[in-house]
């Protein structure tokens, strides 16, 4: 009885101040709270309804406990049955709520003076949206309160159902957050939480603002997005701002990282002794070359010295790499960042970003402390709650729709990347910088880390061996439209080409660009899902028209038409076989 009462109390309008010792007393308190006479016909009907709801809440909590304790031991037939029983229960509860709307609306209308000035009450029409086949786009700034104690709990972070302001929580936004956690963390999804932001840079800024304190030391992988470099260099590292000591890590392997971290700790010993902390920020695959770092090994080493690891995994997407699904927790990054703007959304029509982290680092109710992290130190209260860089519902819906085709789009891009890089690499005067090539220095780490050893669909190319004059190169580059889109973003369905030195990495000095492997004529190519043969043909035509007159016989260095066709067929068959043969067999799916 005590457990039943405790479970039911959360439904009371006096949930925090109730003196009730039974369900009957909860019912009496509820009627008294709203000034309803329990002896009237209305009061009797309301009492019966409230009593049933309190009991239902207790019974549902019992269902939850049973599910938690038995789900792992159930065979899949029973899991299907349990799921559909709960699904139908949801419809029953919603039907009761929908039935309530008619007398609710009638009562509301009776309060009007008859001049229609009272307006429409939104709750009447919202109930049936519960069962929309796609997440509902909730376009509202604020929400209707239930009662004083419920909204007080909402402001304390103790009542998720009762949202108070869309800058903080929005149902469409939350739906996306749940979806990305399920996709990224897999079977460990219950351990993680996500907060969505209105751009990838807003997500990175929020994360760094939450993790770093004044004077900290931050190890950063060299080849990060230009906007990230600018944020670190021009804000966080400035002595009159956060005075973060940024140490640029040029390597990719575990051993390189250990040596660099050891040296960084020595060089910053005085800071660290005074209380500064050291953390790690990685981008893998990195921009613009698409190289991968040995993320699991680097995480393990960083965690040995209690450094938090932040990983921008935008270019990998949850298809190529799932860093939060590593069985060894120490090998997982503490946070994963995605720019939804890129492949996850895929349309190029939305800017958005996300940070994913362990539950206790992302949110706690006010006053709580978990694993040494106080509620005020969580990403929600420390940054998200006060900065306002939230993701609106329309953008969240766009990203949710894009996620539905993510895997199919990545498979197409993997095929295109493999074909196009091999085509270019076969030319003696074109230099390809992509781990899609088996002999590339980064290929082994890619095979170790990426699903099926698939390449990142971002890489760089230059024609330095051809010794092209700047004018010849720029005329050739300009002629790559329309097959190759001259745009600055990546991760869309169209193939995009640009010169990083003039665009995405223009924030870096010439010296910093050189350290990042970027020359003035370096071309960054982000493969799309378009017809790779069409791309190849256009590339060849542009070379014939603009390069051949200056470099005699340049086009003769390309593969023959038959070789290109054979390459396309070989790669397409190989990637499809890797994907479809990896799908679990029926026996495994049915396994109890």
At residue 575, does pLDDT exceed 90?
Answer: yes
> CA-based angle 408:411:412, to the nearest 5?
90
pLDDT tens digits along 191-202: 999 999 999 999
What digits encode the pLDDT tens for the residues 360-388?
Answer: 999 999 999 999 999 999 999 999 999 88
pLDDT of residue 546 exceeding 80, the answer is yes
pLDDT of residue 187: 95
Tokens coding 254: 């575990």
The stretch 154-183 carries a mean pLDDT of 90
**Residue 60 pLDDT > 80:** yes
**In degrees, to the nearest 5, what angle opens at C-alpha 487 toward C-alphas 490 and 475?**
130
Task: Report d(CA 184, CA 187) in Å as an integer.
Answer: 9
ω into residue 285 within 30 of 0, thus cis?
A: yes
Helices of type H across 127-192: 148-155, 171-185
Average pLDDT rounded to a whole number, residues 326-331:
97
Q: Could you report the per-residue pLDDT of 126-157, keeping only the tens digit for each? A: 888 888 999 999 998 988 888 999 999 988 98
CB atoms within 10 A of CB 184: 24
> Cis before residue 288, ω within 30 degrees of 0?
yes
Binned at pLDDT 50, 70 and 90, residue 70 comes out as: very high
pLDDT score of 3: 82
pLDDT score of 273: 96
Q: Which residue has the tokens 């990347």?
A: 417
Interacting residues of 442 by C-beta distance below 8 A, sequence separation 6+ = 252, 289, 291, 292, 435
Q: What is the DSSP letter of 127?
A: G
Lowest mean pLDDT among 158-162, 441-445, 467-471: 158-162
* Half-sphere exposure for 387 (CA within 13 Å, toward CB): 21
**In 458-536, beta strands by DSSP E:** 458-462, 496-498, 523-526
The Cα–Cα gap between 422 and 171 comes to 45
Average pLDDT (89-107) is: 92
Neighbours of 556 (CB within 10 A): 9
Omega into 396 within 30° of 0, i.e. cis?
no
Place of tokens 């660099």: 260
Q: Higher model confidence: residue 522 or residue 117?
A: 522
Which ranges of 327-442 does DSSP label H, i.e. alpha helix?
A: 359-362, 379, 385-387, 393-403, 406-425
pLDDT of residue 287: 85
Q: What is the rounded average pLDDT of the residues 418-442? A: 97
Give the model confidence (pLDDT) of 269-307 as tens digits. 999 999 999 999 999 999 888 999 999 999 999 999 999
In the predicted model, is pLDDT for residue 579 greater than 70? Answer: yes
pLDDT of residue 116: 65
**pLDDT attached to residue 127:** 85
Q: Are 281 and 246 in contact, with CB atoms under 8 Å apart?
A: no
pLDDT of residue 118: 76
Q: Is 280 helix (H, G, I), strand (E, B) or coil?
A: strand
pLDDT at 2: 66
SS3 (DSSP) at 45: helix
Contact between 121 and 102 (Cβ < 8 Å): no
**Residue partners of 174: CB distance under 8 A and separation at least 6:** none
pLDDT (tens digit per residue) in 463-473: 888 988 889 98
- Range with lowest mean pLDDT among 201-215, 516-530, 575-589: 516-530
Tokens of 314: 């935008």
Confidence of residue 160 (pLDDT cuts 50, 70, 90): confident
Tens digit of pLDDT for each residue in 310-327?
Answer: 999 999 999 999 999 999
The Cα 155–Cα 149 span in angstroms is 10
CA distance 351 to 347: 10
Three-point CA angle 136, 139, 140, nearest 5°: 125
Residue 482 preceded by cis peptide, ω within 30: yes
> Which of 1-15, 247-261, 394-408 has the least mean pLDDT?
1-15
- pLDDT mean over 28-55: 96
Q: Are the C-beta atoms of 367 and 406 separated by less than 8 Å?
A: no
Neighbouring C-beta atoms of residue 4, cutoff 10 Å: 17
- Distance separating alpha carbons of residues 54 and 12, to the nearest angstrom: 8
Residue 170 φ then ψ, to 5°? -145, 135
Q: Which pair of tokens denotes residue 263?
A: 């040296």
Helix (H) / strand (E) element for 479: namely none
Outline where DSSP puts E strands in 147-269: 192-197, 217-221, 245-249
Instruction: List Cβ neighbours of 591 (8 Å cut-off, separation of 6 or more).
Output: 76
Q: How confident is the model at residue 562 (pLDDT cuts 50, 70, 90)?
A: very high
Give the pLDDT of residue 114. Answer: 67
Band (pLDDT 50/70/90 cuts) for residue 110 is: confident
Average pLDDT of span 93-118: 85
Please provide the average confidence, as pLDDT, over all residues in the chain: 93
- Give the integer Cα–Cα distance in Å for 424 and 527: 14
Name, in order, each residue with C-beta under 8 angstroms of 416's C-beta and a sequence gap of 6 or more: 457, 495, 527, 528, 529, 530, 532, 535
Cβ(194)–Cβ(362) below 8 Å: yes
End-to-end alpha carbon distance in the chain: 36
**Residue 382: per-residue pLDDT:** 96
Q: What is the pLDDT of residue 1?
A: 62
Percent of the chain topping pLDDT 90? 80
CB 321 within 8 A of CB 313: yes
Distance in angstroms (rounded) separating the CA atoms of residues 486 and 503: 11
Residues forming beta bridges with residue 218, ordered by sequence position: 246, 279
Listed residue (211, 236, 242, 217) closest to 377, CA to CA: 211
N residues, the chain: 592
């Amino acid at each position: 009885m005590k457990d039943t009462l405790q479970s039911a109390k959360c439904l009371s309008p006096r949930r925090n101040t109730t003196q009730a010792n039974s369900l009957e007393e909860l019912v009496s308190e509820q009627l008294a709270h709203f000034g309803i006479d329990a002896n009237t016909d209305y009061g009797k009907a309301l009492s019966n309804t409230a009593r049933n709801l309190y009991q239902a809440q207790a019974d549902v909590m019992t269902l939850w406990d049973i599910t938690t304790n038995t789900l792992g031991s159930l065979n899949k037939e029973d899991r299907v049955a349990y799921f559909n029983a709960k699904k139908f229960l949801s419809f029953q509860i919603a039907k009761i709520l929908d039935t309530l709307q008619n007398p609710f609306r009638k009562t509301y209308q009776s309060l009007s003076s008859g001049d229609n000035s009272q307006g429409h009450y939104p709750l009447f029409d919202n109930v049936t949206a519960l069962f929309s086949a796609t997440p509902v786009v909730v376009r509202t700034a604020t929400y209707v309160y239930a009662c004083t104690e419920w909204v007080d709990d909402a402001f304390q972070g103790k009542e998720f159902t009762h949202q108070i302001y869309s800058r903080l929580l929005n149902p469409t936004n939350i739906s996306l957050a749940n979806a990305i956690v399920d996709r990224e963390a897999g079977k460990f999804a219950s351990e993680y939480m996500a907060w969505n932001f209105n751009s990838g840079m807003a997500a990175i800024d929020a994360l760094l603002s939450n993790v770093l304190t004044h004077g900290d030391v931050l190890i950063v992988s060299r080849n990060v997005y230009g906007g990230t470099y600018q944020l670190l260099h021009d804000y966080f590292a400035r002595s009159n701002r956060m005075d973060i000591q940024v140490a640029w890590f040029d390597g990719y392997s575990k051993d390189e990282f250990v040596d660099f971290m050891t040296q960084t700790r020595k060089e910053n010993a005085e800071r660290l002794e005074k209380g500064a902390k050291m953390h790690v920020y990685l981008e893998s695959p990195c921009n613009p070359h698409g190289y991968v770092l040995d993320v699991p090994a680097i995480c393990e080493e960083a965690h040995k010295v209690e450094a938090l690891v932040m990983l921008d995994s935008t270019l990998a997407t949850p298809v190529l790499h799932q860093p939060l699904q590593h069985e060894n927790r120490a090998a997982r990054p503490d946070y994963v960042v995605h720019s939804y703007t890129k492949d996850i959304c895929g349309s190029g029509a939305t800017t958005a970003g996300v940070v994913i982290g362990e539950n206790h680092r992302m949110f706690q109710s006010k006053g709580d402390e978990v694993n040494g992290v106080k509620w005020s130190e969580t990403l929600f209260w420390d940054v998200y709650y006060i900065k306002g860089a939230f993701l609106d519902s329309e953008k969240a819906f766009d990203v949710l729709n894009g996620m539905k085709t993510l895997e199919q789009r990545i498979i197409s891009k993997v095929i295109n990347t493999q074909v196009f890089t091999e085509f270019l690499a076969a030319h003696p005067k074109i230099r390809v910088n992509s781990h899609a090539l088996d002999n590339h220095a980064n290929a082994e780490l890619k095979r170790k880390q990426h699903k099926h050893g698939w390449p990142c669909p971002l890489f760089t190319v230059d024609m330095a061996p051809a010794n092209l004059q700047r004018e010849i190169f720029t005329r050739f580059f300009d002629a790559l439209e329309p097959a190759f889109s001259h745009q600055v973003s990546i991760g869309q369905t169209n193939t995009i080409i640009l010169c990083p030195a003039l665009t995405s990495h223009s924030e870096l000095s010439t010296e910093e660009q050189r350290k990042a492997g970027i020359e003035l004529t370096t071309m960054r190519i982000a493969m799309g899902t378009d017809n790779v043969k069409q791309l190849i043909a256009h590339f060849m035509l542009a070379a014939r028209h603009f390069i051949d007159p200056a470099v005699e016989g340049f086009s003769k260095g390309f593969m023959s038409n038959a070789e290109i066709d054979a390459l396309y067929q070989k790669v397409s068959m190989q990637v499809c076989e890797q994907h479809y043969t990896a799908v679990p067999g029926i026996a495994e799916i049915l396994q109890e």
